[in-house]
């Protein structure tokens, strides 16, 4: 075998090895991207369901408000509920916008930034609902049962004033208590096992609310590391 034949044979082997390496990279990326897409679909489904629920609440509130506009209790409860529901729907719309901008064809660095933005939006969304959950609950009670508080409160006060005192007291205490919980979760100090478990399962922290997004980011990091290793070979 002469020199030209050796060079040709070596070139064929090199091309074959390069093709195999490219195939491995492609299969690995496709595998990880499918897992990324699966986690993003979970996030999308969650956002859609929550948006539909808020649209239902919004529509029902409008129905009650229009039918009972002369009732001061239902009027003000309805207006406050509408404001809350529109804010939550707007926050969900921002999340949808961020999700639609996540495209696997984009560079991984850009995808990581967009997912980071979506993570922050989701945490803000859940914390907003958590802080106002007590108010949200009582507004729902008033609207669903169409209560006239101007009549109901004086009657309850005559027979069981402590019920009103306890509930009003809890509503007042809830807001600083909610912020205390959030500050506890955000604390950089070492947490006890109880608080660590609460933090991981609360849907108010990055580890809990963004579990699927964090999985997607970890798969992106694997792709990034794999590509760098292949380039370095």
Average pLDDT over residues 97-108: 79
CA triplet 50, 55, 59: central angle to 5 degrees? Answer: 150
pLDDT of residue 7: 42
Contact 185, 179 (CB under 8 A): no
123-141 burial: b if 16+ Cβ within 10 Å, else e: bebbbebbbbebebeebee
Average pLDDT over residues 41-49: 89
Contact 43, 212 (CB under 8 A): yes
What is the residue whose two structure tokens read 């959030």? 182
Percent of the chain that is helix, strand, coil (3-state, to 5): 85, 0, 15
What is the residue whose two structure tokens read 């707007």? 90
Considering only 34-38, 52-56, 65-69, which range has the smallest mean pLDDT? 34-38
Average pLDDT over residues 33-42: 85
Does residue 2 have a pLDDT over 70?
no
pLDDT of residue 14: 46
Average pLDDT over residues 41-64: 93
Query: Mean pLDDT over all residues of the chain?
Result: 85
Contact 197, 188 (CB under 8 A): no
Read off the pLDDT band of 220 (50, 70, 90): confident
Burial class (CB in 10 A: 0-12, 13-18, 19+), 118: buried
pLDDT of residue 122: 94
Share of the chain above pLDDT 70, in %: 85
């Amino acid at each position: 075998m002469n020199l030209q034949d050796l060079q040709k044979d070596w070139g064929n082997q090199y091309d074959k090895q390069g093709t195999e390496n490219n195939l491995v990279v492609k299969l690995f990326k496709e595998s990880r991207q499918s897992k990324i897409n699966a986690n993003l679909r979970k996030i999308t489904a969650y956002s859609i369901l929550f948006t539909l629920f808020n649209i239902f609440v919004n529509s029902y509130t409008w129905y009650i408000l229009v039918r009972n506009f002369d009732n001061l209790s239902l009027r003000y409860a309805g207006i406050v509920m509408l404001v809350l529901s529109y804010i939550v729907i707007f926050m969900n719309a921002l999340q949808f916008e961020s999700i639609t901008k996540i495209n696997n064809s984009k560079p991984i660095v850009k995808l990581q930034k967009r997912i980071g933005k979506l993570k922050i939006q989701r945490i803000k969304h859940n914390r907003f609902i958590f802080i106002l959950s007590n108010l949200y609950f009582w507004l729902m009670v008033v609207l669903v049962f169409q209560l006239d508080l101007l009549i109901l409160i004086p009657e309850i006060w005559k027979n069981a004033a402590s019920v009103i005192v306890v509930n009003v007291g809890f509503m007042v205490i809830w807001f600083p208590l909610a912020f205390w919980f959030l500050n506890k979760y955000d604390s950089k100090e070492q947490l006890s096992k109880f608080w660590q478990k609460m933090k991981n399962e609360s849907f108010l922290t990055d580890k809990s609310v963004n579990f699927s997004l964090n999985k997607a980011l970890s798969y992106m990091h694997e792709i990034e590391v794999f590509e760098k290793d292949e380039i370095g070979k």
